[in-house]
Amino acid sequence: MKHYFLVLLLLSMIFPRQASSQNDGAAIAAAVGGAIAVGAIIASIDQMEEQAELTATEWILHNHPELTSFSLKTMSFDGKKAKDMSATSVITYKIQEFVPEMDPELKGKKQVLFGFTSPGWISDYGIDFNKVNWFLIDETEWMRMMVAYVKVASDEKNESNLNNSLKEGKIVNRGVKSGSKLAIPFFKLTGDMYVVTDYSERLKLLYNERSLGVYLKETRDLVQIGRGDIIDIHDFFFDN
């Protein structure tokens, strides 16, 4: 639906509110041409999202044959922070298992699939999925990542306190919020300051300007995940 609201917004900008009689024809022609261009762009984006979701499903089928009944839905097609100027991005999918029956309900194990892209992954020829690195994580791994991230972003180092605060609250711009209270405040860093933790063989996690940065060691790419996407993933795992 968001694409259709975008179309309406763009059309309202394209059509002149008041056109003189001698410019009516040119204005209408420009508006029609703009509408066609907008429609083509949105159709192309939708097609890329569908292609990426199909590839994500194929990756799951090939790499995780233990998943025999599951739902896979796109959470975000471009989950990086708005101010992130890098040529990389991240696609996220929510996955949940279910029991096959006449009216199945999604009650099984939850996982999130990350697709970290490298520069040039989208071109005039479409999507190059050889430039996408896939990471599948469950609730336990997500919590481990968030604990490692909050550790470097704040003074709180007690893992038990971190686990409790994260399960009960949300990560916001200023820290971890529990109800209306800021339970764990984050350091106030400037845009050129970074705090880094060597998380795993494949990843480093960074805290910078109140955002979560993920550095992929294999491709040497850095992407900052948007705060809204972090909240969405956290809610997916822990909201019942």
Q: How far apart are the first and last CA of the chain?
A: 26
Residue with tokens 């839905």: 73
- Identify the CA nearest to 234 among candidates 124, 149, 133: 149
Quote the pTM value.
0.76
CA-to-CA distance for 114 and 134, rounded, in angstroms? 6
Dist CA 92 CA 169 (whole Å): 22
- One digit per residue, the tens of pLDDT, for the chain of length 240 reads 444 444 444 455 555 544 444 566 555 555 555 445 445 444 455 677 888 899 999 999 999 999 999 999 999 866 444 444 455 688 999 999 999 998 889 899 999 999 998 877 666 666 777 888 899 999 999 999 999 999 999 999 999 999 999 988 888 888 998 888 899 999 988 778 999 999 999 999 999 877 789 999 988 989 888 888 888 999 999 876
- pLDDT tens digits for 193-231? 999 999 999 999 999 877 789 999 988 989 888 888 888
Asked if 114 and 135 count as a contact pair (C-beta separation under 8 A), the reply is: yes
Note the pLDDT of residue 130.
81
User: What is the per-residue pLDDT for 28?
Assistant: 54
3-state secondary structure of 85: coil
Question: What is the predicted pLDDT for the residue at 26?
Answer: 56
Cα separation, 29 vs 25, in Å, equals: 6
